[in-house]
Amino acid sequence: MLNEAFDTFSRLVDAGDREPTKPQLDVFALLSGRLDEQLKKWNAIKQDDLPKVSELIKQADLPAIMIKEKKAD
């Protein structure tokens, strides 16, 4: 949902021929802050929770969970 809101907002701003307005900059700051929060949570899950779950999976003799990062173009 956050991705969709950010994408829709970006297209709206990109479609204009003028500088973003103050309200648009405020919305951008709000969406960016929310995105940063979600990325921090995701990184915490990968760094803290995933190793713990992987260890439990190993102990249960099951295949490990792998997360592959997308490479930047």
Domain that holds residue 55: 2-7+21-59
Examine residue 69 and state whether it is found in any structural domain, yes or no. Answer: no
Q: What is the pTM of this model?
A: 0.63
**What are the backbone dihedrals phi and psi of residue 45, each rounded to the nearest 5 degrees, phi first?**
-60, -45
Is 33 part of any domain?
yes
pLDDT at residue 47, as a whole number: 93
Task: Tell me what the pLDDT averaged over the chain comes to.
Answer: 86
pLDDT tens per residue across span 25-43: 899 899 989 999 999 999 9
Percent of the chain scoring above 70 in pLDDT? 97
For residue 73, is pLDDT > 70? Answer: no
- The answer to whether position 15 is within a domain reads no
Report whether 43 contacts 11 (CB < 8 A). Answer: no
Number of domains in the chain: 1
- The rounded radius of gyration (Å) of the Cα atoms in the chain is 19
